[in-house]
Structure 1
Amino acid sequence: MTTQEDVEFVVHSIADTALEQEEYFCQLDSVVGDGDFGYSLARGFERVLEEWGDYDRTDPGVFLQKVAKTIMSRVGGTSGPIWGTAFLRAGSALKGHGEASASDVVAALRSCVDGIKARGQAELGEKTLLDALVPAIDTLEAEMAGGATTSDGLAAMAVTARQTAEATAGLQARRGRASYTGERSIGSVDAGAMGVAVFIEKLAEAWPHR
């Protein structure tokens, strides 16, 4: 079962990684984007950490909704609405759950995807973070259904996320600033997709030692 403490660990890991990888994420985004992806995420999650002790912890869902509001108010550009919506949808899915089963977690992640699709008007194959996130969630669901531990599920999820993020180099961007470059977007990975991969990798690495 996933507890409040587990959810907080995940969010804190993402926040720490956003700050640690700020420059790298900006470099990725500067190839065909406006180069502010890392900066925007870092400033948002920096505020999340500043407000960490003030969040309502009635249950994991309420906690995630509060985090979402911070992200939406502090992350600039298109990233704020996209990432904020993801956290908000996950919070809505988990609200009222003191603890969450593996199927609850997968359902919450699927809700994130639905929110991102709706907010960004994006689908798979359009060179966005969805191209790493959706396959990673599919892998986690399959691993957990097969009886894998959370650590093993996250490790498998990280492998899939890395592979699919790297595969976005072969796609032409159809959404976001990168889409303005047309065929020139082919040959470089999507910054959002690679960000998802790095977040999951760092989480998978840290989870056994939490």
Structure 2
Amino acid sequence: MTNMSDVEFVVRTIAQTAVDNEKYFGDLDAVVGDGDFGYSLARGFEIVLSDWDSYDRTDISTFLSKVAIAITGRIGGTSGPIWVTAFLRAAAVAKGKTEITGEDVVAMLRGAIAGIMARGKAELGDKTLLDALAPLTDTIEAELVGESSAREILSAAALTARSAADATTPMIARRGRAAYTGERSIGSPDAGAVAVAVIVEAIASHWDNRDSAN
């Protein structure tokens, strides 16, 4: 069972990782896009960090919705609406809950994926963050069947996300600004997919110390 404190840790890790990796994510995006992905993501999530104590924590859904509202308008380009939609869809699944199960987490991720697909008109294989997000969700769902601990599940999800992000390297980008580069997008991984991998790796790495991180 995951409580509000755990959710706070995950969101704070997402935000801090986005800020810390601004240049790295931007450099990846510059290969096939306009290079603003790292900048946009960092600007959106630095607001989350600066206003951290002000968010309504009545329940998990309310908290996630407030985070989504905070980053609305701050993350530019094509990625802004995608990340906002992901948070809002996840929030909708957790409505009224102060604790969530592993199955709830999978449902929240599935909701985020469906929202991203609808908002971005993207499918798996289009060389987007979906190509890392969907496989890691599948891994979490599969790991829940066994007796794996949360730490073990996150470690497996991180490995899957990294492998999936690397697997976007030979793909042709079909959505987002990178799609305009056509075959030039072949040979470098998708920045969004790599960002997902780096974020999940950070969550897995610091999970055991999450109480001291909040």
Q: TM-score, normalised by structure 2?
A: 0.97
1:122-146 CA-to-partner distances (Å, cap 9, x unmatched) read 0000000000000000001111221
Counterpart residue number, 2:207:
207
Deviation at 1:170, TM superposition (A): 1.0
SS at match of 2:173: coil
Q: Name the % identity.
A: 61
Counterpart residue number, 1:98:
98
Instruction: Tell me, yes or no, if structure 1 residue 142 matches structure 2 residue 142.
Output: yes
- Mapping of 1:33-52 within 5 angstroms? 33-52=33-52
Counterpart residue number, 2:86:
86
Root-mean-square deviation over aligned CA pairs: 0.7
**Total equivalences in the alignment:** 210
One-letter code aligned to 1:189: P
Instruction: Tell me, yes or no, if structure 1 residue 180 matches structure 2 residue 174.
Output: no
- Mapping of 1:128-167 within 5 angstroms? 128-167=128-167
- Higher-RCO chain (CA-CA 8 Å, sequence separation at least 6): 2
CA distance in 1, matches of 2:105, 2:65: 15
Instruction: Tell me, yes or no, if structure 1 residue 24 matches structure 2 residue 13.
Output: no
One-letter code aligned to 1:162: R
1:101-153 CA-to-partner distances (Å, cap 9, x unmatched) read 11011101100000100000000000000000000000011112212111100
CA distance in 2, matches of 1:66, 1:135: 27
CA distance in 2, matches of 1:126, 1:8: 31
One-letter code aligned to 2:137: I
CA distance in 1, matches of 2:184, 2:78: 21
Q: TM-score, normalised by structure 1?
A: 0.98
Contact 2:61 2:97 in 1 (8 A): yes
CA distance in 2, matches of 1:198, 1:182: 25
CA distance in 1, matches of 2:70, 2:77: 14
Counterpart residue number, 1:126:
126
SS at match of 2:200: helix
Deviation at 1:50, TM superposition (A): 1.3
1:74-123 CA-to-partner distances (Å, cap 9, x unmatched) read 11111110001001111111011121111011101100000100000000
Contact 1:25 1:37 in 2 (8 A): yes
CA distance in 1, matches of 2:127, 2:8: 29
Contact 2:78 2:177 in 1 (8 A): no
Counterpart residue number, 2:77:
77
Counterpart residue number, 1:109:
109
Unaligned segments of structure 2, at least 5 residues = none
CA distance in 1, matches of 2:25, 2:4: 29
Unaligned segments of structure 1, at least 5 residues = none
